[in-house]
Each structure stands twice: as C-alpha cells, then as structure tokens.
Structure 1
Amino acid sequence: MGFNVSRRHFLGAGTGLAAAAVLTACGSGTPGEPAPEETTGTGGETSGGESAAAAVTIQFWHRTFTPVENEWYANIVKQFNESQSEVKVVGTEVPADAWDQKMKSAQAAGKAPDVYTHPGAIQDGVNAGQLRELNDIVPQEALDEIIDAALPVSAVGDKYYAYPLLLEPQTVLFWNKTMLEAAGLDPEVGPETWDELLEMCAAIKPTLGEGQYCIQPAADAPTFAWSTVGQQYNFAGHTALTDDWTAPNVENPEYAALIEGYKALWDNDYMPKQALAAYVAGNDYGEEKVAFKVSGSWMMSEIGSDFPDLLGRTGVGRFPTAAGSDRTTTTLGNFKWVVDAKTANAEAAGKFLAWSIAGDPANLVPFFVNTQFTKVSVRQSVQDAVADDAAAADAPWSDIVTNEIAPDAISEPMYPWDVSLAVGTAMEAGMKGAQPIDVALKTAADTIAQVIERDGLAEKAPN
C-alpha cells in the first residue's frame, strides 16, 4: 500500500448537522468564545485530574466531516488529554457550511482557535500572517516524515506551516456494476477515455427508469473550479496560467475539448439538468439514481456507512482521459492541521499536533480504516500500519485509490481561487450553452488577466 510520489511543481468538505462538540469542563461550546474558568476538585485539581495551575488550555476546531471522522476527532482529543497533564485540549466541531463565517469572525476578533483544520493551499494564509511556523514546536523528525507529495501543501521553502492528516484524490469515477451489466456492458471495467464514457452512456440510457441518469459529474462553476484541475492538466498538459504566471493559458483547443466533453453529457441528457446531490456527497449514487458518479475518493466511505449493500457492486477507477493522453485526471485534496499565528500557547499547540497526527501511527490507523481506506496518509509509517490492518483485505478499492489513482495526481494549484473560479465559470457556461465555448474561454482569460495584474502574480510564481 505504498505511496511514493516525487514532489511536483504544481500544486474539500463535509455536510450535515454538527454533532455534539467534544468539550471538557473547562471548554467553551461556542466557536470564537473563550473557555470559562476550570472547575476544580477538593484537592485543587481540575475535573481531568491534573493541577489547575499546570494545565494549559488550547482550543481545537475541526469541521463537521462524516460520522466516523467526527468520532475519531473526538477520540483523539480525549486520548491526548488522558495521556498527559500539561495541556488540556477543548475540541469543537463546526458545521461545514458555517466554517468560513465563524473562522473569519474569530480571526477578526482575535479569538481564533489555537489549532484548526485547513484545506487547500497554504500560501494565502502564510502571506496574510495567519499561520504559525511549525519548525520550532514540532520535532524535526516528525516533519521529515511528510512525503514529497504533501510538501507543497505543508511548507513554503524550508518552513513548515501545516501538518497534513491526509491526501485524497478529488476526482474518482464510481460505477454501479448492476446497472452496467443491465446495459450489456462489462461491469468490472470502467471507461478509460471520454469517448468510451460517451459510448457507455449511450448504451446505458435506454435501460434507465424515470429519474435515473448515466452520470452525475460536477455541474456548477465553483465545483468545476476545484474538481477539474487534474482534468485540465490531463487535456492540456498545464493548468490555467503560464508557468511564469504572467498570462492566462486557457484559450486553446485543449481547454475547449474538455468543455465539449461536458457539453456532450449535457446535450444528450446523460447527466441531470439539476444536480441530484452535491459533488462531495454520494446519496444520488447510493439511491441508484446514476450509473456513474464522479466524486472524491472519500465517497466510498459514505457508501460503506450509508449504503453498505452497494460496496460489493461498486466499481472504482480513474476518471476518463482525453484521447491519447496518459496524464493524471485528478488533483490531490488534503486536510491539514495548522497553528494560529496569534496563539499565546504555541508550544502546547505543537505538543498536541505532534502527539496526535505526527506521533504514534497507532493513533491514526482507526481514522484510515474507519473511513474505508479511501484516504492516503502523508507518513509512510502510517501507510504501512494501515495496510497491515486485517480489514484492508476487504477493501480492494484501497489499492486502486492509493497505487493507481493517487501516485501521479497533481497537487492543488497555488494560484488564487479567482483564477480557478474563472475557469469553472467558463466550463459551466460552455457546457450549458450559455456562451459559445470560445467566448466563455475568452471571458475566463480576461478575468484571469485582471487577477494576475491585481495580485501581482508574476512576482509570486513558484520556482
């Protein structure tokens, strides 16, 4: 189950109601609010048993993820608190749809949590002075364990600002073997190219009932923006900017061909006109409304927990490629832990981070096993421990995700979100026919040129 990838030049998400936050007697249940005074026992000890004077309390926020992930977060906080008496961690789960607002409000008020989860690139956070360097609060041997594939989202130069919990391919093709078989197709083999995908959809469409479709891919501008970066690279051999970040690089036949593929899905009613579920969710697939579903590798975890009868009937493979291309079709998403630059308890925050996700691999094995082997650790020692778990033999998709899809994936782009969104907007407009594809790409290029000038991107291009 190894995952060894060379460092590349190129560099989401949870739904549902928040579960109860993991709180100790000293903690606040409201994100952004300070913890109340600790309650002490008759011997001058806190409710956790440690000396009230000695314990340093730090706040840790994470988004609402899947139930098994939320349970792991609760347990890792509990286990850390029970393992020592110097630091008390108060864990708070924040609904994903409220995260941005709560975090911005807390940062503006100077009440950001000491440690929190962070997706995507770190460059903007580093430039804004929001993230604290980890080199002096996390052991160097722990930082050295981070594999090359995760370095672009962990460090700027030789300074580390984040410690990743996981990497996960953002674009994976899932298919219902029963629905493919009903269409006379080989249920064990997914499409390798876009042409094959369209041919298979043509065969599947006549077999579908009302409300069923061949495929549910990304369908809106923001989702296209982040989920298709690997596809852009697959078609064009580059992403949305020139290598020196001086100009947009989207007005070309390759980008047009990518949009034409989605337009074919749209025009032939192979995909629904109204998305049946969010890209990050799997309920449309679980309810067998689609034969193919495009999502991140994390979706298999949802299928395992909510639709277990489909596990054995689900095919997993690489998203189709452009004709004649053998380049990757996916980017590596990630979730990292970071320390707030303004924390007054940096050393305590570093101890928690180092113990929980940079320490004993046994702390992390339950996370990767209980999420159905759909994510990749950034530490080889953890990968090996996960592969040795008895349940790994019952998760054949793990080898596909880890060794066939993830190894050549590119990292998420380091350029600003507005660049990606311009491409996503062009893809939606071209797919739906709101604009001719060439016009949509011209609009994207003009928008990207404005971002380049506004943000001085030519001076920020990676080496």
Structure 2
Amino acid sequence: MKQRRLKGLSWTLGLLLIVAMLVTGCGGAGNGGNAASGGNAETAGGNAAEETTTGDNAAPKEKVKIEFWANKFEETTDAWFKKWTDEFNKTHDDIEVKLTIVPGDAWAQKLKAAQAAGKAPDVMTMNYSNLAPSAKQSQILPLNDYLDPSLIDDLHDNVKGFVTVEGKYYAYPMLVEPSAVLYYRKDLFEAAGLDPAKPPVTWAELIDYGKKLTKNGVYGLSTAQTAGDLGWSSWGLQYNAAGHLPITDDWSKADVMVDGYKELLNFYKTLYQEGIMPKQQLAGYADAAPFGQGKTAMQISGSWSIGLFRNEYKNMLDNIGVAPMPSIDGDQTKTTATLGGWTLVVDGKSKHPEAAAEYIGWLLAGDPNIMIDFFRTSQFSKFSPRKSVDEAMNQDPDAKTDEWRKLISEKIVPYSEAEPVYPWDISMFFATAIEKAMKGEDVDKALATAEKEINNFIEKQKLAGTNPRANGGE
C-alpha cells in the first residue's frame, strides 16, 4: 500500500512538473520568442493573435488585412489591379489585400462616409493635384519611414517633385500622362505639299501648316476651345509662353500681364479666327475621335489618345504621325505639357501603415515586369515615372519597337511639369480669358479681367502664403 501511494505521488509530481514546463515555455514564446527566431506578427494591443490547435504543428499567424480602394479606370486597368493584387496575396503569408473598384461618380461620397465612420481604406488611388492639399490636412501619411530610399531614387527627377510636400514623399506614382501631344495625318501632309517627317516645331509653323491643311471640309487643327477644357489642357503652354503659371509661387497675387501670355492668347485667337479650327468644338479635348474620323488633319490631345487610335482606328495607324507639341520659339526642351496621372497613398489614419506601404512598394516600385504588364495593357499610351522600368522597357520586345512610346518618353515626359495644386477657380479665370480672346475680345482686356478676378479670389479665400509646395515643397 505504501509503495502504491509513493508511485501515485511520483506520477502526480511528474505531471505537475510537465505542466509547469509547458506554462513556462508558452510564456517565453509570448515575450519575444518569435522575434528571436526571425518571425513577426501583427498584433492588437501588443498581444500576439494565436489559434488553439491540436497536434505538433503551430497555428499560422493571423494575416494583417488591409483595404485598397481604386478608382474605376479602363477595364484593362481594373483587371490589372485584380491580377496583381491576387498575386500579392498568394505570395505574402502575413498580409492580405482586399481590392474594391469604386466608380468615379461614387468615389467622393463613399470615401467621405468611410472617413466619417473611421473605416477609410488603408490604401487608395489619388491623382497628383490632390496630393499636396491632402498632405497638408494630414489625410495621407508620408512614406519616408516605410519605403526604402532607393525606391524614391528610382523615380525620374522631374516626377519626384510631384509627390513631395515639404521635403517628404506622400505617394508612390503609378503613371504619368502628358497633356499635350501633336498627332497629324501623314497622307494629308503630303497632299498639302508638307513633309511628314518634319512636323511643325513653333507656334508660327503650326498656324502655317494649319492653314495649308484646312481644305475639302477638313479642319487643319483640333484642340481645346472652351474654358472648361482650356483650363487644364493649356497649363503646359502657359509654362511654355511665360515660364510660370498665372499666379505667383506664394499665391499672393496674379501674374498674367506679361508678353508671353499675350502671345499665348493671340496664338489661340489666330487659330480660331482664321478658321483653322472649327467654330464649334467637335468633341471634348480628351476625345480625339474627330481626328480618327478624318475631320481634322492635326490634333492636339493627351497621350491617352494613342489607346483610342490603336483600338478604334487601326486602319489609319500607318498614316498617323506623333510629335511633341510645338513650342513658342521652337525649343522643344521647354515645357509644352503637364503630366497628369495617378499614385497610391496610405490613409492618414491607417492602422497598418507598414503593411500598406509594403503592398504599394511591391506593386508599383518592385519588379519592373509588373508595371511593364500595365503599360502593355494600356497600349503604351501611359508612361512610367521610374527609371528602371523605362530601362527594362527598352529591352522588352513589344515596348522597344514602339516608336510612339519612345518619342513621348524621351522627348515630352522629361520636359513636362506637374499639374498646379491651386484651386480650380484660378485655372478657370485664366482659361476664360483665352476663350474670350479666341472669340474676338481684345487680348489686353481679357487678361486684365483675369488678373482682377484672380486677385479678388486670392483675397476672399486668403490664399496668400498657403501654397503647400512653396519653400522646398517640390
């Protein structure tokens, strides 16, 4: 009996010892054991999320889940986002990205409601012009602490400023689209006695070519001619004419009464008054269909029109020439276009900024082939902000033989400026002056009116000194 009791006591003590060892072992792992072995886990309140399991295998750590909202673009772009987000999720054990495509007309309302409810997406698309105001209001986070500096160094020099506010990078750019490219009909050039290999390079030449090409019911040129379109499509030519935009850098006053702007208004006025362009705009500036339909011999439009031509007007591709927009004096290293485009940003209140930035870095700043796949789906109508992607495309069988892509990436993109970030009203005041001059108003009078309207707006809105990109902001 005594021996049996001792055996029972020994068994009990042994069991207690095993339990104590197990408890001690679990406590050690919970206090940094995983970190020591190179693992990591996203935690809530500092406690690792673990699941109860049976058997010898440890449970996988819970994935960090981030929300990504993308504007709805072309079907090919939507499909590209889905394809590569799925690939990210397959290749990352610790992060899961949920993609939501949001139609443009619902974007503002949906985002505002999500922000009010504290449920804004961790990652979202944002165009360049919204970056600086959003950064100033702390709606988006700087990425300096989350992205390797080499990823920023990979950006083309003129594009770095697009995503910079007060010395910090608030987005990673996905693409750039030049706002002004000259498309022209080679066959119509020949019929008018013009050399298709020598498109116009000055405003004076463009006017001269336009006159010679305007015949047989075909207009010599189509471009923006209403204030709504002129407001953004002429930004590049505003830089070209005057070297600056119609407002001082500190946003303290208008800066329109200069000779360059007088020449700019007279340029548009001549095109309109001499019948080189139609009296009624055939389509919006963003729509180059009239050119594709043979209604105009030359078209000034953005790089996106390449996709239209290649998809809808394949039978006339051999007759389309592509060139930089002519400049005021023929110097084509001076700006004639601004670069619009889209970026990815991290929400200012994201609970998982590291994971959000990792996704952005992987998708937009990682393997060049991911972005080459995007540019291929866009028919090379959009352009890369990254040096390494351009270098890789110069070796890609499809990209390196695309002469349109090569010309725009080498002769337009490097000399283009960022879109302005001041309120749209400023652009409309100046664009209205262009439209008034086109339709016959005295140029000096039109500019004087714009100057007065811009200065009144600056005073009422207290804009002076509020430029978020001033003083090293870009």
- Shift of residue 243 of structure 1? 4.2
Q: Which residue of 1 aligns with 2:279?
A: 273
Alignment partner of 1:221 is 2:227 = yes
Q: Which residue of 2 aligns with 1:75?
A: 83
What CA distance in whole angstroms lies between the structure 2 residues aligned with 1:268 and 1:105?
51
| 1:112 to 1:323, Cα distance in 2 relative to 1, 3 A | same
Q: Which residue of 1 aligns with 2:127?
A: 119
Deviations 1:37-67 (A, max 9, x none): xxxxxx99xxxxxx99713332222223333
What CA distance in whole angstroms lies between the structure 2 residues aligned with 1:64 and 1:283?
22
What CA distance in whole angstroms lies between the structure 2 residues aligned with 1:193 and 1:217?
16
* TM-score, with structure 1 as normaliser: 0.82
- 1:140 maps to a residue whose letter is P
Q: Which residue of 1 aligns with 2:261?
A: 255
What CA distance in whole angstroms lies between the structure 2 residues aligned with 1:111 and 1:421?
35
What is the aligned counterpart of 1:310 among 309, 316, 331?
316
8 A Cα contact 1:235 1:325, kept in partner: no
- Shift of residue 440 of structure 1? 2.2
Q: Which residue of 2 aligns with 1:462?
A: 471
| 1:273 to 1:151, Cα distance in 2 relative to 1, 3 A | same
8 A Cα contact 1:374 1:401, kept in partner: no
Deviating more after overlay: 219-228 vs 104-113: 104-113
| 1:65 to 1:213, Cα distance in 2 relative to 1, 3 A | farther
What CA distance in whole angstroms lies between the structure 2 residues aligned with 1:456 and 1:272?
38
Alignment of 1:33-112 (within 5 A): 54-112=62-120
Alignment of 1:316-395 (within 5 A): 316-323=322-329, 327-395=334-402
Structure 1 gaps of 5+ residues are 1-42, 45-50
Q: Which residue of 2 aligns with 1:154?
A: 163
| 1:273 to 1:76, Cα distance in 2 relative to 1, 3 A | farther
Q: Give the secondary structure class of the aligned counterpart of 2:205.
A: helix
Alignment of 1:121-270 (within 5 A): 121=129, 122-208=131-217, 212-270=218-276
Q: Which residue of 2 aligns with 1:21?
A: none
8 A Cα contact 1:146 1:379, kept in partner: yes
| 1:313 to 1:84, Cα distance in 2 relative to 1, 3 A | same
What is the aligned counterpart of 1:416 among 402, 423, 428?
423
Alignment identity in percent? 38
Q: Which residue of 1 aligns with 2:448?
A: 442
Deviations 1:245-274 (A, max 9, x none): 332111223212211211222223322333
| 1:343 to 1:392, Cα distance in 2 relative to 1, 3 A | same
- 2:341 maps to a residue whose letter is N
Q: Give the secondary structure class of the aligned counterpart of 2:194.
A: coil
8 A Cα contact 1:429 1:440, kept in partner: yes
| 1:66 to 1:314, Cα distance in 2 relative to 1, 3 A | farther
Q: Which residue of 2 aligns with 1:402?
A: 409
| 1:456 to 1:144, Cα distance in 2 relative to 1, 3 A | same
**Rg bigger for which structure?**
2
Deviations 1:335-385 (A, max 9, x none): 111111122232221121111111111211111233233333222111111
Q: Give the secondary structure class of the aligned counterpart of 1:131.
A: coil
What CA distance in whole angstroms lies between the structure 1 residues aligned with 2:292 and 2:98?
35
What CA distance in whole angstroms lies between the structure 2 residues aligned with 1:338 and 1:316?
33
Q: Give the secondary structure class of the aligned counterpart of 2:80.
A: helix
Q: Which residue of 1 aligns with 2:47?
A: none
Deviations 1:425-445 (A, max 9, x none): 222222233x43322212221
8 A Cα contact 1:218 1:279, kept in partner: yes
- 1:65 maps to a residue whose letter is F
Aligned residues: 412
* TM-score, with structure 2 as normaliser: 0.80
| 1:286 to 1:102, Cα distance in 2 relative to 1, 3 A | farther
Structure 2 gaps of 5+ residues are 1-50, 53-58
- 1:206 maps to a residue whose letter is K
What CA distance in whole angstroms lies between the structure 1 residues aligned with 2:424 and 2:167?
24
Q: Which residue of 2 aligns with 1:292?
A: 298
What CA distance in whole angstroms lies between the structure 1 residues aligned with 2:97 and 2:281?
40
RMSD across aligned C-alpha pairs, in angstroms?
2.6
Q: Give the secondary structure class of the aligned counterpart of 1:61.
A: strand
Q: Which residue of 1 aligns with 2:289?
A: 283
Greater helix share, structure number = 2
